């Protein structure tokens, strides 16, 4: 990646909805050059997609938590199965496979603390491969500036 590619990434992280013409104008390059660079970044897997940033509270899911989960036995089959199962749950925003004392970190969003409690009891505690979990309620979330990558 050269400086132009890095600047494209930075600008798209700030506003991925801007037109190619506007992006090229900000970069001081021809629209055709800009378009080819964006296509190249996409082909190389640098740009993986474009996403809407949705506020969970606007969807009546204003309570968020991080849940560390430990599973046993620590086999590939158990890890892969739990990862797929957790990712399919509507409450789960992200699934992270992590190193350390825990095996997973789940980011969840639910309506309120009662729904969080129900998620823990009804979804997690009933799974035989889970031998423990810890929950941290998120009070505030601060988004990092998009210029950190690129």
Domains of the chain with bracketed CATH: 3-43 (1.10.10.10), 56-138 (3.30.70.920)
Asked if pLDDT for residue 150 goes beyond 60, the answer is no
Kindly report the number of other CB atoms within 10 A of residue 124's CB atom. 18
Residue 21 pLDDT level (bands cut at 50, 70, 90): very high
DSSP strand pairing (104-110 vs 92-97): antiparallel
Whole-model pTM? Answer: 0.82
What are 81-108's pLDDT values in tens digits? 999 999 999 999 999 999 999 999 999 9
What are 24-45's pLDDT values in tens digits? 999 999 999 999 999 999 999 9
Q: 121 exposed, middle or buried (CB, 10 Å; 0-12, 13-18, 19+)?
A: exposed
């Amino acid at each position: 990646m050269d400086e132009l590619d890095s600047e494209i990434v930075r600008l798209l992280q700030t506003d991925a909805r801007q037109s190619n013409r506007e992006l090229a104008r900000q970069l001081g390059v021809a629209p055709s050059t800009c378009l080819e660079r964006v296509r190249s970044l996409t082909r190389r897997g640098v740009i993986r997609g474009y996403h809407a940033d949705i506020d969970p509270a606007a969807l009546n899911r204003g309570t968020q938590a991080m849940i560390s989960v430990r599973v046993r036995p620590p086999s590939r089959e158990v890890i892969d199965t739990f990862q797929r199962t957790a990712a399919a749950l509507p409450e789960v925003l992200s699934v992270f496979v992590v190193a350390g004392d825990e095996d997973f970190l789940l980011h969840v969003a639910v309506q309120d603390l009662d729904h969080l409690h129900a998620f823990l009891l009804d979804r997690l505690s009933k799974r035989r491969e889970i031998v423990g979990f810890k929950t941290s309620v998120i009070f505030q979330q601060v988004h990092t500036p998009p210029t950190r990558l690129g």
